[in-house]
Chain A
Amino acid sequence: MMAKPAATAEQAEVLETHAPAPAGPVKKLGGPAIWFDERIGLAKLGKASLRKVFPDHWSFLLGEIALYSFIVLLLTGLFLTIWFKPSMGEVEYHGSYQLMRGLAMSQAFESTLQISFDVRGGMLVRQIHHWAAILFMAAMTAHMLRVFFTGAFRKPRELNWLIGVGLLSLGMIAGMTGYSLPDDLLSGTGLRFTDGAIRAVPIVGTWVEFFIFDGEFPGDAIIARFYMAHILLLPAILLGLIAAHMALVVYHKHTQFPGPGRTEKNVVGYPLFPVYAAKAGGFFFIVFGVLILMGATMSINQVWLYGPYNPAQVTAGSQPDWYMGWVEGAVRIMPGWESHWGPTTWSWNVFVPFAILMGIFYTALGIWPFVESWLTGDKRPHHILDRPRNAPTRTALGVAGMTFYGLLWAGGGNDILATQFSLSLNSVTWFLRFAVFVGPVIAFLVTKRMCLSLQRADRERVLHGSESGILVRSQIGGYSEPHVPISVDEAFTLTQHRQYTPLEATPTEDEHGVKLKGPGTVSGLRAKLSAWYSGYDVAKPTAAQIAESHHHGDEDTPALPH
């Protein structure tokens, strides 16, 4: 054998030049697929990604809704730009909406009426576009809450969380610039508010106002400038951020909820092709279809009832779109505080609830992953999601934040609340002035207690099983309810999470009295905050305790099945 000359490639049986033909309807790549493969390595790409696994859970659809409504926004927006004229030039209306014939209005408003009444399908597309914007913001918000409460923002996904915060804040600006464009009475009122809010910023406010509006309000430039931002600048940034957001989801692979066989090292679910592609692709059509039906049957932003913008008119009940409502509410319930120092005016009544509030809110969201990791000392990567109860302080903070947001949102409709519920407007406002501070504290305490109770219930369930619903009367007359063991799958799900031991303060000085700093040291303050953050967890049962409950098991404390 050794002496035999080396076989040529043709003769050698072990050196197959062709892989055996794959089993299945497609025997080999051909035609256009080969053309592309020779240029961009299509087969390599497909092999790596076609069967990529995506886990399934309803809450993972929230982000998809946001993505799909953004695509719908791009499609419908493109249609609208064909007819919309972003000009504040004055024209007399001669279109087919009779009630406004002869009225002076801007070209922007005239073309909005034209799209609504003279372009076939224009009304439908306008309404789909507006509903899609509302859904885009709602889905992003819900998605963000899901990511927050399940801890999906933890390492290695902090950057994607930051991108998400960027998308949320930019989405708000995109919406605001969009609903300002028709130049009807409501959008003009919104612009008036924007102008007042900008000029209230100390020191630079007036300059920013003059630079944005090309002089004083309203001027004749703002619609064209907002149009540029709305159809070019913001969508380009949003698109880039969304692409990065998606790319990171692919790179990190999706998180998954705890369950049997779900570990930090794997991802369990369905392959991209065909199941996930069909589900996600189909879901795009469902979101789009529902938006079209909404646009067909639910009237929104009826600019033809409001009329063209007139700086001397406003309607009662003027409100922005829902995602600006919390800022609107803060502006409404803020007391009228203003400082007049020398020849300057410091307009806290507008600056604080507008710029400061939004600044704090988005900053707090952005830094949270880093704060949490600082509090727990946890630098591990996480791919298994938290059940919200297992991060009680985070969950409580989240609910406190939602309460704060919700109360401000109620403030944005304080006049509607007053008229609908026959309350005093002043009482509603005064109530909210205190409630925005007290409400979140109550929500925090209640939520944290609920989480700890749920932890206790989980512990009980693992150790003692679940209630059987059968009452047994003993010979001496006592009643008891035997418990039945829970499945190993469930027991694993209820106990797989990591529980943190609060960080302990490290010495501040070494034996020579030199101050210690740097990684690995824990200050007293950090230790206290860490104890506050993770020091109240109900300890999950240990393996020994589970074995113990099994060993001493009677009908009340049955053991786990094997």
Chain B
Amino acid sequence: MTPEHSTALATPEDEMLHPVLDPGIEEHVERYSDADAAVGDRAYKQVVLCFGLVPVLAIAFVVVYFAVPADFTARLLGVNWHVHSTLLGLTGGLAVLLVGIGAIHWARQLMNDTEIAEERHAASSSDEEKNGFVEKLNAGIADAGVHRRGLLVSSLGGALGILAVPAVVTLADLGPWPTAAVRRETIEKTIWADGVRVVNDNNWLPLKASDLEIGQLVNAEPENLRELHGAAYHNAKAKAALIVVRMDPNSIRIPESRRDWQIGGILAYSKICTHVGCPISLWEQQTHHLLCPCHQSTFDLGNSGVVVFGPAARALPQLPLRMDAQGYLVAQSDFTVPVGPSFFERDSRNDFKDGDQ
């Protein structure tokens, strides 16, 4: 079969393809509601009943709106129902539904259901129309004078094209430009610094090494987070959130380079997943595994936070800890690598890899 660039509708050739000739539209079969006047009358009553119930329900809706206290709740079928909202929805929803059911019942049972045929017309124009179009196009081109002065169109095109540049440039202030200097102050930095106390995420009390038992995990924040408010607070918290965990030093692997980042098996890791940045929270005490509930990346906190399962690619950054004079846990510095999900300009050569010393 050769490809056919036909724009017309079915050709006689198409008809040849039919081993069984088109018998024409099937005979119309009478409905019960046509054949039996009683059935038709019943359908008629049903339709009117549907429409007739709508005003009743609409009035009920208004009554509910004003009469039922908005904060009223009731317990039914083991569920707490917001009564006002539920009753509004039931009355309003049924009213709207009945309009639809009535209309469709009418259409299906009472309106003439004889199918009719309508001719299709080709989407394309006739040759005459095409020629007429080309003729008018040429007349317009001639009127515009572009035939003799060729630069008119190209200069207009260039002029319109270049207007995209100022339009796009106005969007340059959508946000700060993440240049190296900006990145160093934003996504590559947290508010952890030497001497910043580690405080409990719930009660803001500073953590003491002696408070932590083996196997215990505490969600923590830097104490200086409380000085911030609004967006600065959220931005800082989204990077500084910390997991402090105490494990038996004999059951975990502490590399030589990180020997003095911990105090007797108390280690601190970034709580922000290196995958797409969810706060990691599911702690398996026996295996020392920490699982992210968003995409199930699993990190081994007993092995410098390396990935043991899931889509994350990099170990959780570890925060170097020490004890201050009063026995409280404090940071030695900021994280040594950027926390959170990857970005293109991130230099990931210094991240901890399984087996590093």
Contacts and interface: CB of A to CB of B under 8 A. Distances in A.
B22 A260 contact: yes
Interface residues of A, number: 140
A264 interface: yes
For A284, A293, A560, the residue with the greatest tally of chain B CB atoms inside 10 Å of its CB is A293
Contacts of B310: 332, 336, 429
Given A90-B229, A378-B3, A200 B343 contact: yes
B165 to A, nearest CB: 17
Contacts of A199: 341-344
A205 interface: yes
A162 to B, nearest CB: 15
Contact of B120 (A265, A293, A378): A265
Interface in B6-23: 6-7, 9-10, 14, 17-23
Contacts of B293: 314-318, 415
Interface stretch (A140-148, A235-243, A344-352, A473-481): A344-352
Contact of B10 (A202, A253, A263, A488): A263
B20 A189 contact: no
Contacts, number: 383
B90 interface: yes
Interface string A512-525: 00000001100000
Interface string B72-90: 0000000000101111111
B43 to A, nearest CB: 13
Contacts of A251: 123
A292 B96 contact: yes
A285 B234 contact: no
Given A289-B100, A338-B314, A345-B343, A312 B118 contact: no
Contacts of A314: 278-279, 281, 293-294
Given A381-B7, A560-B20, A206 B344 contact: yes
Contacts of B70: 117-118, 120
A188 to B, nearest CB: 9
For A90, A345, A489, the residue with the greatest tally of chain B CB atoms inside 10 Å of its CB is A345
A501 to B, nearest CB: 5
A553 interface: no
Contacts of B24: 260-261
B139 interface: no
Contacts of A285: 96-97, 99-101, 103
B120 A383 contact: yes
Nearest to A344: B344
A312 B271 contact: yes
A200 B25 contact: no
A317 B341 CA distance: 20
Contact of B21 (A207, A271, A492): A492
Contacts of A207: 177-178
For B17, B98, B312, the residue with the greatest tally of chain A CB atoms inside 10 Å of its CB is B17
Interface in B166-188: 171, 174-178, 182-183, 186-187
A200 B344 CA distance: 7
A531 B182 CA distance: 58
A195 B22 contact: no
Given A265-B9, A292-B89, A379 B4 contact: yes
A545 B295 CA distance: 60
A219 B231 contact: yes
B282 A316 contact: yes
Nearest to B25: A261
A89 B230 contact: yes
B140 interface: no
Interface string B256-287: 00000000000000010001111101100000
A279 B177 CA distance: 55
A343 B313 contact: no
B93 A296 contact: yes
For A195, A285, A287, A429, the residue with the greatest tally of chain B CB atoms inside 10 Å of its CB is A285
B275 A196 contact: yes
B296 interface: yes
A345 B3 CA distance: 49
Contacts of A219: 231, 234-235
A337 B17 contact: no
Contacts of A415: 293, 296
Contacts of B174: 210-212, 214
A289 B93 contact: yes
B104 A283 contact: yes
A88 interface: yes
A297 B143 CA distance: 66
Interface in A80-116: 88-90, 96
B219 interface: yes
Contact of B235 (A217, A283, A295, A429): A217
B241 interface: yes
A414 interface: yes
Nearest to A220: B231
A212 to B, nearest CB: 7
A498 interface: yes
Nearest to A285: B100
Given A218-B234, A429-B296, A278 B20 contact: no
A500 interface: yes
B116 A488 contact: no
B276 A192 contact: yes
Interface residues of B, number: 111
B30 interface: no
Nearest to A203: B344
Nearest to B80: A299
Contacts of B347: 343-345
Interface stretch (A12-20, A172-180, A449-457, A536-544): A536-544
A216 interface: yes
Contacts of B349: 340, 343
A495 B103 contact: no
Nearest to A122: B85
B231 A218 contact: yes
Nearest to A201: B344
Contacts of A344: 344-347
Contacts of B277: 192-193, 195-196, 217
A495 B20 contact: yes
B117 A345 contact: no
A261 B20 contact: no
A269 B112 CA distance: 12
A313 B106 CA distance: 55
A286 B104 CA distance: 9
A309 B347 CA distance: 30
Interface in A232-275: 251-253, 259-271, 274-275
Nearest to A211: B174
Given A332-B296, A381-B9, A217 B238 contact: yes
B65 interface: yes
For B20, B26, B104, the residue with the greatest tally of chain A CB atoms inside 10 Å of its CB is B20
Interface in A14-58: 51-53, 56
B223 to A, nearest CB: 15
Given A286-B100, A380-B4, A488-B23, 19 more contacts: A53-B116, A88-B230, A127-B85, A202-B344, A204-B344, A218-B238, A220-B234, A264-B14, A282-B103, A285-B99, A289-B95, A289-B98, A289-B99, A292-B89, A293-B94, A297-B89, A312-B241, A316-B282, A377-B1
Interface of A: 51-53, 56, 88-90, 96, 117-118, 120-121, 123-124, 127-128, 156, 189, 192-193, 195-197, 199-207, 209-221, 251-253, 259-271, 274-275, 278-279, 281-293, 295-297, 309-318, 328, 331-338, 340, 343-347, 349-350, 353, 377-381, 383, 414-415, 425-426, 429, 462, 488-489, 491-492, 495-496, 498, 500-501, 503, 519-520, 540-543, 545-546, 560
20 contacts: A117-B71, A118-B70, A193-B277, A193-B278, A199-B341, A200-B276, A200-B342, A201-B344, A213-B175, A264-B14, A265-B10, A278-B107, A282-B107, A289-B96, A292-B96, A312-B219, A332-B296, A350-B275, A488-B20, A489-B23
A-B pairs with lowest CB-CB distance, top 8: A296-B89, A196-B276, A289-B97, A282-B103, A285-B100, A261-B25, A292-B93, A338-B313
